[in-house]
Amino acid sequence: MADREEAEILRNARDIINHLAVVIRTSQIHNPGNVTVLKAIDRFVATVNPLVAMLYNTHQPLVLELIGEFFYLNDMRVRFPMEYLLNFNFLIREFKKKGLGSITLQRAVTSEDIKKFLEVFIASSFSQEPFNILSDGMAQLDFIRVGSLKKFAEDGYGDIKKFVKKTYFNAVSFTKGVINKIKSGEKVSLRKAKRVVESMVDMILGEEELLLGMTAIKDYDQYTYHHSVNVSILSIALGQRLGLNRKALTELGLVALFHDIGKIEVPAEILNKATNFTEEEWRIIKRHPFWGVHAILKLKGFDVTSIRTAIVAFEHHLNYNMTGYPAVSRRFEINFYSKIVSLADQYDAMTSSRVYSRVPMPPDKALSVMAEKAGSELDPLLIKFFINMIGVFPIGTLVLLDTKELGLVYGGNSTFYDRPRVMTIVDSRGNRVNGNVVDLTEKDAGGMYVRSIIKTLDPNKYRINLAEYLM
């Protein structure tokens, strides 16, 4: 396929997905003859048919496919602007509910064709086997084919996890090396850091859940290095949810990695103090944004990214309403990257053991505290996206099930946020078990859920080492 044709497909793909989401959403609210539904159908037909015709001339059908958390049109991943996010997420949930993996259009469609598709699509919602109903119903329209949702093969899953772990710990090791070099007065280049961040961006784009899971593993003795990497990963993941392109994600990950670099100037006896800071010690701590700017400006290869890194280092504690530190003489618009990094920084700090806070806050509690800061200390729109990304029950949360089992949240569920995948670590009789991963959407023969979460628990009280299970 020529580059021109690929560009044409991607230009139209976002609108096609957006209009399809609107068609399905409106058809679920109104009856098929409603003028709102009919207009939505006409817009979809007018958008999709020119692209179908173009592909038909090259003997290709139009294939819209859901793979993981992303849509692909004719094997090209479709990125979307922020204003389309809600419709994209809605359509992803609808595809997953139906077990629908792909829709293939062999030729141009009419409004009547889409009406028939909608009738079958909505009827499948009331079935225990929605994809079978959908597939059988679409048999009458042989030029519109549907494919089932692909399950990722377990073969090679262990290798993927090893690669994700290697990527994570390489980043931690690199960060440690950079900090030590800067402390010793050596010149450091951002070029190597960029390569490390690019590998994390690749992981987020392909294996977001696994890499996000690594941020749940905290290392008290190596807090500074793990924190920097965790904030970078969380920032990249949020940026990806916001629709940033790969170049922007790499830059965001880079500025996040260096957000706390100014702490190298804080005396070790203060940084590692186990008791509360004195007023003077707290004054010194609050100087680290200034020192961060100074350290970044001394890096080799000074460029636009260096400037943005310095800005984030200065702003990440300012707060959305400018009530944080350092004190500034006038209000101004905080940098977009700074707002993202501030979210990631606060979440990871609250859920980690530190010298002056040996007991970390449970992830769900941390999200609750952050939600209360929406509109004051934290950007109200970004915190919604962040909570949506982390989930109602974040990875690493210890939960009690109604089967009297204890488990760790192991993976999210974008369709049913309160029904994640859980690794059982204590059985109903109170015995430690090796860790069988169960899906909380599983139902018994009577249509009842096999397991449900009753409440979250503090893993520290049960002396549970998250790393032992999540790694």
Reduced to 3 states (helix: H, G, I; strand: E, B; else coil), residue 58 is coil
Q: Encoding tokens for residue 323?
A: 């009530």
At 1 the pLDDT is 46
Res 283: pLDDT: 93
Between the alpha carbon of residue 130 and those of residues 1, 22, 95, 121, 125, the distances in Å are 35, 20, 10, 8, 6
Q: Which amino acid is at 40?
A: A
pLDDT at 210 over 90: no
Confidence (pTM): 0.67
pLDDT at residue 471 in the model: 60
Residue 332: Cβ within 10 Å count: 10
Q: Which residues, other chains included, contact 431 with Cβ-Cβ below 8 Å and sequence gap of 6+?
A: none
What local confidence, expressed as pLDDT, does residue 360 receive?
76
Task: Select the more confidently predicted residue: 318 or 216.
Answer: 318
pLDDT at 79: 74
Taken in order 397, 398, 401, 405, the sign of the CA dihedral is: positive
pLDDT of residue 87: 86
Local confidence band at 85 (pLDDT 50, 70, 90 cut-offs): confident
Question: What pLDDT is stored for residue 156 in this prediction?
Answer: 46
> 444: buried, middle or exposed (CB in 10 Å: 19+, 13-18, 0-12)?
exposed
Listed ranges 26-35, 58-67, 227-236, 393-402; the one with the highest mean pLDDT: 227-236
- Residue 349 makes CB contacts below 8 A (sequence gap 6+) with 227
Q: What is the pLDDT of residue 49?
A: 94
pLDDT band at 160 (very low <50, low <70, confident <90, very high): confident
Average pLDDT of every residue of the chain: 86
Long-range pairs for 418-426: beta carbons < 8 A, 24 or more residues apart: 418/392, 418/393, 418/453, 419/449, 419/452, 420/391, 420/392, 420/393, 422/451, 422/453, 423/469, 425/464, 425/469
> pLDDT class for 57, splitting at 50, 70, 90?
confident
Strand order in the sheet with 62-67: 76-77, 70-73, 62-67, 100-105, 144-148
Domain coordinates in residue numbering, the chain: 3-148, 157-390, 398-470
Structure-model confidence comparison of residues 371 and 221, the more confident one: 371
**Position with higher pLDDT, 320 vs 142:** 320
CATH of domain 157-390: 1.10.3210.10
Read off the pLDDT of residues 247-302 as tens digits, 9 standing for 90 and up: 899 999 999 999 999 999 999 888 877 778 899 999 999 999 999 999 998 887 77
